[in-house]
Structure 1
Amino acid sequence: MQFVTALLNQLNALVWGPPMLVLIIGTGLFLMLRLKFMPLSKIGAGFALMWKGREKGDQSTGEISPFQALMTSLAATVGTGNIAGVATAIFLGGPGALFWMWCTALVGMATKYAEVVLAVHYREKDELGQHVGGPMYAIKNGLSKKWLWLGTAFALFGGICGFGIGNMVQVNSMAHALQSTFNVPLWVTGLVTMVVVGLVILGGIKRIGKIASTLVPLMCVSYIVAAVVVLVVNAEAIPGAFALIFTHAFSPAAATGGFAGAAVMAAIRFGVARGIFSNEAGLGTAGIIQAAGTSNSPVRSGMIGMLGTFIDTIIMCTLTGMAIICSGVWTSGASGATLSADAFESAMPGYGGSILSIALVVFAFTTILGWSYYGERCWEYLVGTKAILPYRILWVLAVPVGAMVQLDFVWLLSDTLNGLMAIPNLLSLLLLSPIVVKLTKAHFARDRQLGTATPQR
């Protein structure tokens, strides 16, 4: 077992090493340039479409509304990465890591836009009459047969790693947060979560979408309010925090207090890696859920889908990072969720830690729901619709196991497979980028001809 663990550690270092980070950032930058910075210039139009997308639309074009699709995607991405991931990036890379998280998100908007456009454009209907899509279907229907193995590899990596990174790791974080803050036994969290998750996912994507569209906006707004309170309490430190972020993005962060110091490469590596872990731009997951949305336009779906990266990283992760830096706890030597909890506790003594624990629990729970759908579609692609019910049962049964066992190996394996998902997806994005550009140009050309701005559509 030690040999396997050592081997996985080496593979993980390679998967999440500089070549992969360059590939992810490079693909995003390439797509952003090919799209002539459209994802950035159309952020406002994207939010207008998102608001309008609350209506379900034509049920023959999908199972859930575009708004529900975005909220389900956010359910899977807004999670421990926004709390523990940001803190870990700052702990290992210093304040400058937050700058590189921003860069990852900005180019990642183009990546996620392209993922969704291709997923909706190449989606299919399965034997049950439901719309299915994602990188595996884009590869299958958009590329020649010699690339089919890429789609199979993506589905296999996603189908396995979901049980770890999207299920057991999440409930494990929930269980330990509730145990340390409210003395709730691990097994209680495991069993209760298993029952609730089962009631939701056994109802399929429509029930997941309904729960996500209710819970995700509420949890995001609540977390934003709590983080803003921390910033208001430490308002005088905000200018200095921005100075630290921009300074240490390009120069080493010296050791101070319990902070061990960090080189510029550490800021880049951990900022990019944790940013990708948080918003999943480049992993291809967003397209899987957006393919189930009611939409006749891949481009409009892409404009809504790309907002997931903006909301997750530019808004949520920034607030967490600023709270940690402004409160001064980043030099304490603490790491992970503990560091974020210390920041909230310093501004709201007696309440801050509890608020963060509750946020962590809700974020992790919604991630379990979102990832359950990702994994389901991966196994359906590999085995067919007969895999759906057995998969859902196994997913529910994995929840209490994750709450009560040590998950170091599971975390390592799922983190490695999660990174490997990016390779087939990024290759397909590069190969199919002309299709993305063609569809985008045609969409906006039609808008100009009709004299109708996209937000009003």
Structure 2
Amino acid sequence: MELLNNLLLYIDSYLGSAAYFPYLLLGVGLFFTLYLGFPQVRYFRHAWRVVAGKFDKKGTPGDTSHFQALSTALSGTVGTGNIGGVALAIFLGGPAALFWMWMTAFMGMTTKFVEVTLSHKYRVKTEDGTMAGGPMYYMDRRLNMKWLAVIFAIATIISSFGTGNMPQINNIAQSMEQTFSIDPVVTGAVLSILLAMVIIGGIKRIAAVTSKIVPIMGVLYVIGSLSVILYNLDNIGPSFVSIFSDAFTGSAATGGFLGASFAYAFNRGVNRGLFSNEAGQGSAPIAHASARANEPVSEGLVSILEPFIDTIIICTLTGLVILSSGAWTQKFENVFARTDLVFVTGQYDDHNDADREQLYKYLNGKKDNTVENYSGTVQVVDGIPKNNGEYTILHARSVAEDVHFIVAGEDPYTGKLPIKNGQLMKEDIEVVGKSLIHSAALTSVAFSEGYLGDFGQFIIPISLLMFAFSTAIAWSYYGDRAVVYLFGQRGVMPYRILYVCGFFWASFADTTLIWTASAVAIVLMTLPNLLGMLLLHKEMKQTVKSYWEDFRSGKN
């Protein structure tokens, strides 16, 4: 697993984690924001009126209403990215990462508007009478770049597993195990059966289910978030100050958090922002293509609301819960994930300014850092490591405390443990101790720091269950539309079976590996989509102009 994770990290270093990617993503959003005259601001009110059905007409071709299409698309975006993803971004980049998530969302409102409009414009009716759309269709039918459309469709299928499937059930199962002690295999088996029952019904059943789940889960999550934010109201001001003051400098060290550079906070904020709202990825246009509308721009306007609801509202609530509670700087008892565990040479104390500076440089990839990975042995007696200053154990980007080693999950280990280049080489050893935590576990702890007390932590598994399960439902539709494009209707059922099997497997797989795989899959969709959008920028502007001319004259 470590080798596979390292390979995926290497690939990601040239994709989502590469220096160019955040600038490219934000740059495309900024270009269209300026080119189309800030549509996310000018058309915001009109978008709500379209969703409310103010301009609906009978007999309009499509499979779903504007609201159902928005609900399906939102169910695909509102998921672990809003709960675990925000926590991961803050864990990696500090408060500054939340600022860059906002910027990604603001620019993403325009990006989403463009990709949905173009995708809806070139949608087609399939063999079974349902609509199929998405960037692959405008790439093929308008740009005559079938090779690019094929790349996008293949990437969509991969991403349906890496974004909408595996990270979702993995976070649900992890949360259910932590809160209710339910075996991940049981969680995976039950939800896999439910998933199969929903997705076999196609887009109409999917839309019917998601249009009911999305409003309920949104209200529940807002109430739970406010119970923490209002309880920690005195910390809200300082939280906002840290978000903005650190935006262009990086986040300073505080508590167990060792600090994050500007580049790291910027990259992680944009990356997690994309994972959360998917603007530019090209996934949501597939759901919006099913909407009943003659005018593609009308559905594009509906999509403007997605990043706003997903990131500006829900992700902000999550971020403020985590920051105001202070949980992101505290160390908690947890079982260490091997992919987050490293031994470094020498003794480092995170209360010492000089040591913190060196560890900051090491964790942020600075060239002038002097920290080296440890190779040697660790002597352990009754589970407790004997350390004469030869090494320091880091876990989850923090100095680990009260570390002990266990065999088979319960018996203290005694003996020597081999360490090679910072990695523990003995596979059957479980490492437990105090460190920073991240993803859904961090959000869960933060939710217990409010008026609801320990009961607050139950909001996360319940919210994750609804958020993430609905995401998996929506992404099954994205994947099967890509399968229809590549192989026709005959490929849909084999895909759905494989999708459900992958969903079950991921319930008990390593969390870090799943997140890394999803990061790679996202960018494999995004790059072709951004290229296609840029090539059609003139057509997009003309399409928008024609829509408003017809609207003012009463033709639509």
Instruction: Give yes or no for TM over 0.5.
Output: yes
Residues 325-344 of structure 1: per-residue CA shift (max 9 Å, x gap): 11222222332222211221
Q: Deviations over 1:35-84 (max 9, x none)?
A: 100222211211221122797x5465111111111101111110111011
Structure 1 pair 326–15 and aligned structure 2 pair: CA distance change class (3 A): same
Among 531, 535, 549, the residue aligned to 1:431:
535
Distance 1:4 1:353, change over 3 A: closer
Write the deviation string for residues 186-241 of structure 1: whole angstroms up to 9, x where unpaired. Answer: 22211211111111111110000000000011101110111112111111222221
Where in structure 1 are there 5+ consecutive unaligned residues? none
Distance in 2 between the 1:377 and 1:54 partners?
28
1-structure distance, mates of 2:504, 2:479: 18
2:189 to 167, 188, 191: 191
Distance in structure 2 (CA, Å) of the matches to 1:176 and 1:285: 26
TM-superposed CA distance for 1:161, in Å, is 2.5
Contact persistence 2:206–2:473 (CA under 8 A): yes
The match for 1:149 among 147, 150, 166 is 147
Report the AA paired with residue 472 of structure 2: I
Give distance in 2, aligned partners of 1:374 and 1:5: 26
- The one-letter code of the counterpart of 1:274 is R
Q: In 2, are the aligned partners of 1:118 and 1:298 still within 8 Å (CA)?
A: yes
> Residue in 2 aligned with 1:36?
37
8 Å Cα contact 1:113-1:305 kept in structure 2 = yes
Supply the distance in 1 between the matched residues of 2:170 and 2:215 (Cα, whole angstroms): 24
CA RMSD of aligned residues (A): 1.8
Whose strand fraction is larger, Structure 1's or Structure 2's?
Answer: 2
Q: Could you tell me which of 442, 451, 460 is aligned with 1:339?
A: 442
Distance in 2 (alpha carbons) for counterparts of 1:102 and 1:5: 29
User: Compared with structure 1, are the counterparts of its residues 59 and 211 closer, same or farther at alpha carbon in structure 2 (3 Å cutoff)?
Assistant: farther
Distance change (3 Å), C-alpha of 1:328 and 1:50 = same
Matched with 1:11 is 11
1:415 and 2:519 are equivalent in the alignment: yes
Distance 2:325 2:85 in 1: 18
Distance 1:61 1:217 in 2: 26
Contact kept, 8 Å, 2:115 with 2:285, in 1: the verdict is yes
Which residue identity is paired with 2:449? S
The residue number in structure 2 matching 1:47 is 48
1:207 equivalent to 2:310? Answer no
Q: Is the 8 A contact 1:168 1:402 kept in 2?
A: yes
Per-residue deviation, 1:270: 1.1
Give the structure 2 partner of residue 127 of structure 1. 127
Deviation at 1:396, TM superposition (A): 2.2
- What pairs up with 1:227-242 in 2 under 5 angstroms? 227-242=225-240
Deviation at 1:99, TM superposition (A): 1.1
Aligned positions, number: 449
**Greater C-alpha Rg:** 2
Q: Is the Cα–Cα contact under 8 Å of residues 84 and 171 in structure 2 kept in the other structure?
A: no
Helix, strand or coil for the counterpart of 1:258? coil
Q: Which residue of 1 aligns with 2:23?
A: 22
CA change 1:407–1:257 in 2 (3 A) is closer
Aligned-partner residue type, residue 25 of structure 2: I
Q: Deviations over 1:268-290 (max 9, x none)?
A: 11111110110000100111010
- Shift in Å at residue 410 of structure 1? 5.0
Paired residues for 1:375-454 under 5 Å: 375-406=479-510, 409=513, 411-450=515-554
The C-alpha deviation readout for 1:109-147, integer Å capped at 9, x for no partner, is 110000110011011111112111100001011113xx2
Q: Which has the higher contact order (CA 8 A, sep 6+)?
A: 1
CA deviations over 1:240-266 (Å, ceiling 9, x no partner): 211111101122322111111112222
- Specify whether residues 59 and 418 from structure 1 end up closer, same or farther in structure 2 by C-alpha distance, changes over 3 A only: farther
Counterpart code for 1:129: G
Q: 2 CA distance for matches of 1:154 and 1:257? A: 43
Contact 2:159 2:525 survives alignment (8 Å): no
Q: Greater CA deviation, 427-436 or 12-21?
A: 12-21
**Relative to structure 1, is the Cα distance of residues 405 and 11 closer, same or farther in structure 2, using a 3 angstrom cutoff?**
closer
Matches within 5 A, 1:297-376: 297-332=295-330, 333-347=436-450, 348-376=452-480
Pair 54,35 (structure 1): closer, same or farther in 2 beyond 3 Å: closer
TM-score w.r.t. length of structure 2: 0.78
Deviation at residue 446 of structure 1 after TM alignment: 2.1
Q: Specify which structure has the higher proportion of helix.
A: 1
Counterpart in 2 of 1:72?
A: 72
2:108 corresponds to which letter in structure 1?
G
* Superposed displacement of residue 401, structure 1: 1.8
- Tell me the equivalent position of 2:105: 105
Contact 1:54–1:67 (CA under 8 A) maintained in structure 2 = no
CA 1:251–1:41: 2 relative to 1, 3 Å: same
C-alpha displacement of 1:389? 1.7
Q: How does 1:91-102 map to 2 (within 5 A)?
A: 91-102=91-102
In 1, distance between residues paired with 2:257 and 2:141? 50
1:356 aligns to what SS in structure 2?
helix
In structure 1, what is the Cα distance between the partners aligned to 2:38 and 2:516? Answer: 36
In structure 2, what residue type is equivalent to 1:345?
S
Task: Work out the CA distance in 1 between the residues paired with 2:169 and 2:532.
Answer: 32
Q: Identical aligned pairs, as a percentage?
A: 42
Cα 1:8/1:310, change in 2 over 3 Å? same
